[in-house]
Amino acid sequence: MSENILHNEQKLLNLLEKKFLLKESRIIRAKRVEVKVEPKEVIPVLLYAKENSGYIHFAHMSCVDWIEDGEFEVVYILWHPEEKINLFVKTRVPRDNGSLPNIDFIWRQANTYEREIREMFGLRFEGLEGRKEFILEDWNNIPPMRRDFDTEAYVKEVFFHRLGREDAKDVREKIQERTDEELPDFAKKYSRD
């Protein structure tokens, strides 16, 4: 039964596995397929998905900063309008001096996402055109979406703070230590236990 439901997803995976060298591939759940590829395989996989498999819609492109591994993960999300399947193509590049191929000749709108990632993460795209300055204005710090950018220190240095927030404490640990007996009666009523 379940094979029947995931028929289209399995078909796509089989095609991609046969054709390309995938690092990892799986069906996340119905209508969601994920493949992980090397950076140099990105263009062939995307082109194949667009031209031969019907993934004509470029839904989104985002970047994740895996600072512990020293890598950026870039995710391309494609959409099949007829089969209603999302295809996630993921690739990893080194944080320092890493670069990805430019894909705006496949989908023109990718240019916008690439420029945003270039500005917010400092990731280089080979042959990407367009002005360096995109959303930020006169920014001369390290790219703000990188996890080694200390937002709080930056904010404390640049902006003013109105008095009245000095006593704000981190209460997350205290909340975790709470037991059920300490819960007020009205909260117990809605508790899942």
Partner 1 sequence: MYNDKESQKIVDIIQNFARKHSLFVLAYGTGCGAIEIPPTMTSRYDAERFGIRGAATPRQADVLLITGYLATKTLKRVIRVYEQMQDPKYVMGFGSCAINGGMYWDSYNTINMLDKYIPVDVYINGCMPRPEAVIAGFVKLQKLIQEGKADGWDRYKKNLDEYRANQKKIITNWVMPDFNR
- Which residues make up the interface to partner 1 (CB under 8 A)? 136-138, 140, 144, 149, 151-152, 154-155, 158-162, 164-165
Least distance from partner 1 to the Cβ atom of residue 130, Å: 18
Least distance from partner 1 to the Cβ atom of residue 91, Å: 27
User: Looking at beta carbons only, is 105 or 139 nearer to partner 1?
Assistant: 139
Query: Which tokens hold the place of 95?
Result: 């944080």
Q: How far apart are CA 25 and CA 17, in angstroms?
A: 8
User: Looking at beta carbons only, is 47 or 136 nearer to partner 1?
Assistant: 136
Least distance from partner 1 to the Cβ atom of residue 169, Å: 15
User: Looking at beta carbons only, is 29 or 172 nearer to partner 1?
Assistant: 172
Least distance from partner 1 to the Cβ atom of residue 45, Å: 35
User: Looking at beta carbons only, is 21 or 155 nearer to partner 1?
Assistant: 155
Q: ∠ at Cα 80 (75, 81), nearest 5°?
A: 135
User: Looking at beta carbons only, is 82 or 138 nearer to partner 1?
Assistant: 138
Least distance from partner 1 to the Cβ atom of residue 137, Å: 5
- Long-range contacts of range 128-131, CB-CB < 8 Å, 24 or more positions apart? 128/102, 128/104
Least distance from partner 1 to the Cβ atom of residue 69, Å: 24
User: Looking at beta carbons only, is 28 or 136 nearer to partner 1?
Assistant: 136
